[in-house]
Amino acid sequence: MKSLFASWQAWAILSAAFAALTAIFAKVGVENVGSDFATFIRTIVILCAAGAILAITGQWQPLNSVSPKSWLFLALSGLATGFSWLCYFRALKLGDAARVAPIDKLSVVLVATFGVLFLGEKLAPQNWLGVALIAAGAILVAWKA
């Protein structure tokens, strides 16, 4: 069991499962609430949960132990996350969860592309085929017939 939770694959599958629950819970949650206010509530819950996890696991570290470069990129990541959530909740407010979530997951295609362009990562042809299939699948699932 310990080795299962030491693998990135297990954590990625859990992330996908929680992301799926996020879409379903959020779709119900934004029913009678403004999407931006719903994002605010969600953010407070996440902040409290993350703080509790740090306290329980003893992983808190001094703020000055974070390098200026890490501060910059974590702040940029936080801004990107915030804008993503605002857009996601607005999309859920306006559309079906089963169609919004696949379009949101086009982020996988963008991450693969940005990883190659900006981080120097390498993808083999079969990896690019998978990226293309993800893109095609997201579009087909989101397509309203």
DSSP state of 95: S
Residues 89 and 123: their CA atoms lie apart, in Å, by 32
Band of the pLDDT at 1, cuts 50, 70, 90?
low
75-109 pLDDT, tens digit each = 999 999 999 999 999 999 999 999 999 999 999 99
CB 108 within 8 A of CB 134: yes
Using N-to-C axis directions, what is the helix angle for 35-57 and 8-29, rounded to 10°?
140
CA distances for 30 relative to 12, 61, 99, angstroms: 26, 35, 16
Residues 98 and 92: their CA atoms lie apart, in Å, by 9
Q: Buried b vs exposed e over 40-55: b needs ≥16 C-beta within 10 Å?
A: eebeeeeeeeeeeeee
Q: pTM, whole model, 2 decimals?
A: 0.83
